[in-house]
Structure 1
Amino acid sequence: MSVIGPVVVTGASSGIGRACVERLAKAGVRTFPTVRKEADALSLTEAFGALVEPVLADVTDAASLARAAAEIEARLAGSRLGGLVNNAGVALPGPALSQPLDEIQRVIDTNLVGAMRAVQAFGPLLGAVPGAAGPKGRIVNITSVSGKFGYPFTAAYAASKHGLEGYSESLRRELMLTGVDVIVVGPGAVKTPIWDKGAAVDRSRYEGTGWAAPLARLEESLAAMDEEGLEASVVADVVLEALTAARPKPRYAPVPQPLVNWWLPRLLPKRLIDRVIADRLGLRPAAASG
């Protein structure tokens, strides 16, 4: 495992982001976690020590990212970032035909456009500039199994993660000119609060639409998956490997029970998977009365 320069981790207040900060600090790597609240910044430094230097920033606000980049550049004092981990994300389930557009926009703006903003803000500090001399950092984008597989009622989340997968592939090939690598880490179910936070959304708006009962079943399924999911520390280990391996894979897929949760859904016919999901969630049309 090679030694790397300082790493920015977005969305580091909880879950995978916080686990990444902890893992990097244990490996002796200086980190700049981005959080939105002073209390979260204090929690990180108290928990993980002097190598952790939180910065206030919101990935949905380009100006705050620009300020964070300027602050980090000053702290670097002429040295380079070793990595950027784009982790900030939100999940708000709902039926695609009637989910409020502001919720859909929030998911895509955070998960996809937020990563794009962060790349533009911190890319120069990684050496992602044509002709720039010196060491080059890496970009690790946290996607999801949902970046390859769309579950019902997660259309906004799946769209954001599919988009981040495509963006990462294009960016990786584009940045070959600069020597900065781009790696995707797409976990399966992880024990994080991301879906619990989405549970705060008002579901009463879907009562009487036909979507309410299948949506409730999906949320029960997601809660069960999270209970059986990977520890966030497992994903953090993979992120560290992506940042430090001499020859990193372009994509890592840490998934619990990979045969069932990764390989079979990708290899079996999509219509067969559709039928399995429809039976599980109650997505069959009601029989016509005659």
Structure 2
Amino acid sequence: MKTAVVTGVSTGIGRQIAETLVTQGYMVFGSVRSQRDATRVTKEIGKNFKALVFDVTREDEVLASVKTVKKYLGNRKLDALVNNAGIAVIGSVQGLTSEEFKHQFDVNLMGVFHCVQAYADLLGADQEREGQSGKIINISSVSGKTGMPFMSAYNMSKFGLEGFSEALRREFQFYGIDVAVIAPGPVKTPIWEKFDPEGLTKRHSNSPMREPLQRMLAYSDAMSDKGCSPARIADCVVDILSNRKAGARYTIDTTAGQQRILSILPTRMGDRMIGSQLGLRRK
């Protein structure tokens, strides 16, 4: 039976990836942050799923989780590590606190780093293990290539993840461990429900950027309604794991709109377009 570790499986994309891999015959080890979530998700997914309780920002907890997977594998290699756990911190550069910025990085970047370091040996860095080396799939975003107002912290974390993934792929070819990135556009997922838009607007109530922020939130709501389902991303994970010559990066954007336009426009023209849409152009 093939094996996979998937982070952040309590809801959304990670949950769908875990369920889909189980249906494809994988033994899935999925991370959650609480025992309560572990009990719930294990009951709902059922057979061939084992919950790992750890916070990706806590290196000691990530390292401890390896023992459970290692015991199951024996001397075999782990087939896949899917780094999905992530958060989105939204707000103006002036309105965000240092703690919020740091937490964004701790989850979206350091969390991936912790998991890669912890599971590298099981994936094939320990070449005494039996079987073909595994694959690492990092869930990024179209925001890893395009910066948007009020998403600076999220953009920086995803731009960083893209660079880390490229460097890692070129480095880990030494072990035969492949690395691929999936970059979704808007997704129908609870990640955007975890921040408080009303509270965010209130915090910016005295800011001259209050109205542009409200326009951005309205635009994000409209795009999420048109977003792809987590199932599309899970299917992409299966395709990558099934293909010995998988690509390095997969973009899934069902809105097929602004991101694509921005990718072909001259940079300054894109600046003006976004500025006009959100009311950020200086009068």
TM range (shorter): over 0.9
Q: Which stretches in structure 1 are left out of the alignment for 5+ residues?
A: none
Distance in 2, Cα, partners of 1:193 & 1:199: 12
Structure 1 residue 125: deviation in Å?
Answer: 0.9
Between the aligned partners of 1:181 and 1:87, the Cα distance in structure 2 is 17
Q: Provide TM-score, normalisation by structure 1.
A: 0.93
CA contact (8 A) 1:11 1:87 kept: yes
Do the aligned partners of 1:9 and 1:21 also contact (CA within 8 Å) in 2?
A: yes
Match of residue 124 from structure 1? 121
Instruction: Give the Cα separation in 2 of the matches to 1:70 and 1:29.
Output: 19
Paired with 2:198 and 2:82, the residues of 1 have a C-alpha distance of 27
Structure 1 range deviating more: 128-137 or 209-218: 128-137
Shift of 1:96: 1.2
In structure 2, the CA distance between the partners of 1:148 and 1:93, relative to structure 1 (3 Å rule), is same
Deviation of the 1:97 alpha carbon: 2.7
Q: CA 1:216–1:178 in 2, change beyond 3 Å: closer, same or farther?
A: same
Aligned equivalent of 1:249: 247
Q: Give the SS at the match of 2:50.
A: coil
Q: Which residue does 1:51 correspond to in 2?
A: 48
One of 97, 101, 126 as aligned partner of 1:100: 97
Report which stretch shifted further, 122-131 or 221-230.
Answer: 122-131
- Following the alignment from structure 1 to structure 2, what is the Cα–Cα distance between the partners of residues 271 and 66? 45
1:174 has 2:167 as partner: no
Superposition pairs for residues 189-208 of structure 1, below 5 Å? 189-199=186-196, 202-203=199-200, 204-208=202-206
Q: Is the 8 A contact 2:2 2:79 kept in 1?
A: yes
Distance of 2:158 and 2:186 partners within structure 1: 14
- When structure 1 is superposed on structure 2, of 139-148 and 200-209 the one drifting more is 200-209
Code of the residue aligned with 2:140 in structure 1: it is T
- Structure 2 distance, partners of 1:277, 1:19, is 33
In the TM superposition, residue 129 of structure 1 has moved relative to its aligned partner by 4.1
Cα distance in structure 1, aligned partners of 2:120 and 2:197: 34
Amino acid at match of 1:156: A
The one-letter code of the counterpart of 1:51 is N
Are the aligned partners of 2:186 and 2:255 in contact in 1 as well (CA < 8 Å)? no
* Aligned-partner Cα distance in 2 for 1:77–1:200: 47
CA deviation string 1:85-135 (max 9, x = no partner): 000000010111331010011111100111011100111111124676632
Identity %: 38
Decide whether the 8 Å contact of 1:131 with 1:178 is kept in 2. no
Determine helix, strand or coil for the equivalent of 1:134.
coil
Does 2:59 correspond to 1:62? Answer: yes
Which residue is 1:111 aligned to? 108
| 94-103 or 262-271, which deviates more | 262-271
> Aligned partners of 1:130 and 1:264: how far apart in 2?
45
How much is the aligned-residue C-alpha RMSD, in angstroms?
1.6
Tell me, yes or no, if structure 1 residue 140 matches structure 2 residue 137.
yes
Report the structure, 1 or 2, having the larger strand content. 2
1:83 and 2:112 aligned: no
Note the C-alpha offset of 1:205.
2.7
Moved over 3 A (4+): 129-134
Q: Give the secondary structure class of the aligned counterpart of 1:220.
A: helix
Partner of 1:239 in structure 2? 237
Residues 226, 255 of structure 2: 8 Å contact kept? no
Q: Give the alignment of 1:35-46 within 5 angstroms.
A: 35-46=32-43
TM-score (norm 2): 0.95
SS in 2 for 1:6: strand
Q: Residues of 2 paired with 1:43 and 1:78: CA distance?
A: 30
Please report how far the alpha carbon of residue 276 of structure 1 lies from its aligned counterpart in structure 2 after TM superposition. 1.6
